[in-house]
Chains A and B, each alone.
Chain A
Amino acid sequence: MFQKTFNWLDERLGLKTIYDTVLDRKIPKVNWWFTLGSASLFLFLLQGITGIMLTIYYVPSPDHAYDSIQFIMTGVSFGWLIRGIHHWGASLMVLIVFFHMLRTYFFGAYKYPREFTWVTGVLLLLLTLGMGFTGYLLPWNQRAYWATTVATSIAGTVPFIGNFINQVLRGGGDLSAVTLARFFSVHIWWFPAMIAGLIGVHLYMVIRLGISSVPKEED
């Protein structure tokens, strides 16, 4: 029965071809360092799922942001767990993505023909840091408020256009409800969409070009 259903679907969707192309690839002999990319992808999906769960209760408004998170932590079953995973997963994702970059750098995996994979990887690293930056404000507690005040002020020290950048980030002269709303928007729509798109490009190239082997002594 299962086999029949699968065959019917496979004939129309080409599931086996997808499996063979995406997962059943020929790879050189590699080591544990090569799992960091998969780990990054897993963490992105985990952050996506827990983040979607959090938006069920979270309200991006100065009136309710802090209280709604208190409610998630104390008033909702497993709210502490969902938020805890999102909180720690965020730090872990920055760490893992960074190690993924270091692995690629030290193994020389960015070289021809994988330069463009490296470029998309750099963008993905920057976007991951951007997710950390925008997500940090959302709890709207003292630490979040002042961290973002300091960080946007640092952006304001750029010569000539600093003040302009500062105001774009804050949505005005002060850190306000406008800042919270735009950080929320960027955190849940703009950056995740860009990351998802770039992961698509990144993985397409990984599948198309294959992965590089561990460099040997003579390399």
Chain B
Amino acid sequence: MPSSPHMSRREFVSIVTAAAGTVMGALIGIPAIGYLIAPALQKVSADAWIPAGPIANYPVGVPTLFNFNRTKVNGWEKTVNSYGVYIIQHEDGSILALSNKCTHLSCRVNWKQDAAAYICPCHDAYFDINGQIVKGPQPRPLDTYESKIEENNLFIHFVGS
């Protein structure tokens, strides 16, 4: 074939085919990859301010248990989890919200007024009224929740499991 400054028919066809193929490959490939990796791209935020009722419900100096449920959605599956929080209103009006989940093996601790301690029924872990370790196998104090008061209603900050 004599050399020509112009593109040959064969070259033109190959370039057009390659370009069309690339576009079609992307049109098919991007949805396919997006479909496979979709769960990793969705940021599910479990963050929420849970209303815990009027602050007057919580007597000063006495830990009072507040229970709430949160629904967790994983794909097509819904799981309802229960959470318990001990609310302690101090004399100066400050609020302490303590998770009732023992830091040892996640049993639920109970406030015992006569012992002045949260006692875990599983392995006898003792925590004082502010959640600090008294004795037992637990590695750290009780976990705390952030709390706020708006118009005399208490809210606790749930940051997800």
Contact = CB atoms under 8 A, between A and B. Distances in A.
A64 B78 CA distance: 11
A50 B36 CA distance: 12
A78 B31 contact: yes
A82 B38 CA distance: 13
B contact patch SS: helix
A79 B42 CA distance: 14
Interface in A37-86: 53, 56-57, 59, 64, 67-68, 70-71, 75-79, 81-82
Interface centre among B38, B76, B77 (most CB of A within 10 A): B76
Interface residues of B, number: 12
B32 interface: yes
B76 A78 contact: no
Contacts of A64: 76-77
A82 B35 contact: yes
A70 B31 contact: no
Interface string B9-47: 000000000000000000000011011101101100000
A53 B76 contact: no
Contacts of B34: 77-78
Given A76-B38, A77-B41, A68 B31 contact: no
A77 B75 contact: no
Nearest to B36: A56
Contacts of A79: 35, 38
Contacts of B36: 53, 56
Interface of A: 53, 56-57, 59, 64, 67-68, 70-71, 75-79, 81-82
Interface of B: 31-32, 34-36, 38-39, 41-42, 75-77
Given A67-B77, A77-B34, A82-B32, 8 more contacts: A53-B32, A53-B35, A53-B36, A56-B36, A68-B75, A75-B42, A75-B75, A78-B32
23 contacts: A53-B32, A53-B36, A56-B35, A56-B36, A57-B75, A57-B76, A59-B76, A64-B76, A67-B76, A67-B77, A75-B38, A75-B76, A76-B35, A76-B38, A76-B39, A77-B41, A78-B31, A78-B34, A78-B38, A79-B38, A81-B35, A82-B31, A82-B35
